[in-house]
Amino acid sequence: MTFTERYTWAGLVIAIVTFVTYWVVILVRAGTSGRLLVDVDWQGPLLWALIVGGGLYALTMLVLWLGVRGHAHTDARDHEIERYATASGGGITGLAVLATLVMLALGAPTFWTAMVLFTGSFLGSLASSGVTLVAYRRGF
């Protein structure tokens, strides 16, 4: 398994766990308080999800990188796969950004605007990771 494939797997697991944990916290808060999702305090859990998820990803990358330090850990195939995967996930993320801008222009509730951006970014990362892992396993 190449360096890029390892950090893609690690990032995928961290992203899924972070995303699911955030939604579990929000749904439990809404369920136990009897309030609507838009009325639940969601800002703190979202910030913690971003900080902890990003920190875990950075730490994982550092550990993996230190393991291959001094050795070539990417090649032309890795770069081509990464380029292809970035293009695949970038479309979804771009669509989420566009939807968020439209929602902001129309004065949509902040909760839903933030959730569209958060979920769209997650889905873009998920698509990019999926394309990367399929390319490593099956080729282009």
pLDDT in tens, 109-140: 999 999 999 999 999 999 999 998 998 888 76
pTM value?
0.86
For the chain, domain boundaries: 3-138
Write the CB contacts of 86 (distance below 8 Å, at least 6 apart in sequence). 128
Q: Give tens-digit pLDDT for 77-99.
A: 777 888 888 888 999 999 999 99
Question: 3-class SS at 18?
Answer: helix
Task: Identify the CA nearest to 82 among candidates 19, 15, 3.
Answer: 3
Taking only Cα atoms into account, the Rg of the chain, rounded to an integer number of angstroms, comes to 18
Residues found in the chain: 140
Which amino acid, 34? G
